[in-house]
Amino acid sequence: MSLSYKIVDIDANPIIVTEIFHNGIKQTDEEFTAGTDSNSIHESLLTTFGIEKIDVIPKSISVLITTTTSYSKSFKLATYESVGHFIFSGSNKVGIPKKIKATVFIEKISSPANIRIRDITNSNTIAEKTNITNTLEEIIDLGNISNIPTGEAIFEIQTNTTGGKFVYISSLLFEF
């Protein structure tokens, strides 16, 4: 079974949805006030339309890090440095990510590199991957996720390396 819908206004509280489908059959064209987060939207739609079970399709948010070379390049520093910023809307609007991945590689293997996501609004580390050694671009899982803010925050992508080589990052993917 599947349930799909179109969000009309993500900033509304509660969130408004329309074009609701269940197993490919349109349930309504009408706007429907559905809840304040993805869980309450699903529960509200289940109750309203008498649907017993749904399979939730995971959502994701992609963050592209663009420069003139298509990669953000850090500056060979042993301390963490910023390579980009983005706005995270808060778990109360988009949910809590289950995975964070990055496309990343280092210039040469002389010593490993590290990457982390910091919530600079609340001074917390969100995820961190250490000992990156690949010299070709790969998708890297940043591991355990913690300290996700409920409200809007500025997230900073940071890298470091002790080997005097560049770290390249082109994108992040948040999976929910």
**What pLDDT score does 47 carry?**
64
Does residue 110 share a domain with residue 32? no
Q: What is the DSSP letter of 36?
A: S
**What pLDDT score does 121 carry?**
97
CATH number of the domain that residue 93 is part of: 2.60.120.260
Percent of the residues in the chain that have a pLDDT greater than 70, as a whole number: 56
- Give the total number of structural domains in the chain: 2
All residue ranges of the chain with pLDDT < 50 are 1, 53-57, 68
Does residue 87 share a domain with residue 42? no
Does residue 88 share a domain with residue 26? no
Does residue 169 share a domain with residue 132? yes
**What pLDDT score does 5 carry?**
53
Does residue 88 share a domain with residue 19? no
pLDDT, tens digit, 9 for 90 and up, residues 110-155: 778 899 999 999 999 999 999 999 989 899 999 999 999 999 999 9
Identify the bridge partners of residue 9 per DSSP, sorted by sequence position. Answer: 16
Percent of the residues in the chain that have a pLDDT greater than 90, as a whole number: 26
**What pLDDT score does 150 carry?**
93
14: in domain: yes
Does residue 23 share a domain with residue 102? no
Handedness of CA 64, 115, 152, 34 (dihedral sign): positive
Does residue 150 share a domain with residue 100? yes
In the Cβ-directed half-sphere of 30, how many Cα atoms lie within 13 Å? 8
Q: What is the DSSP string of 4-33?
A: EEEEEETTSSSEEEEEEEETTEEEESS-EE
* CB-based contact 7:16 (threshold 8 Å): yes
Which class for 34: exposed (0-12), middle (13-18), buried (19 or more C-beta within 10 A)? buried
Spell out the residues 6+ positions from residue 176 whose beta carbon is closer than 8 angstroms to its own.
Answer: 38, 58, 59, 60, 61, 94, 95, 96, 97, 98
Amino acid at 74: S
Domain residue limits at 123: 60-175
Does residue 96 share a domain with residue 148? yes
89: in domain: yes
Does residue 134 share a domain with residue 65? yes
Residue 23 Cα distances to 19, 31, 41, 45, angstroms: 13, 19, 17, 13
**What pLDDT score does 54 carry?**
47
54: in domain: no
Does residue 45 share a domain with residue 112? no
55: in domain: no
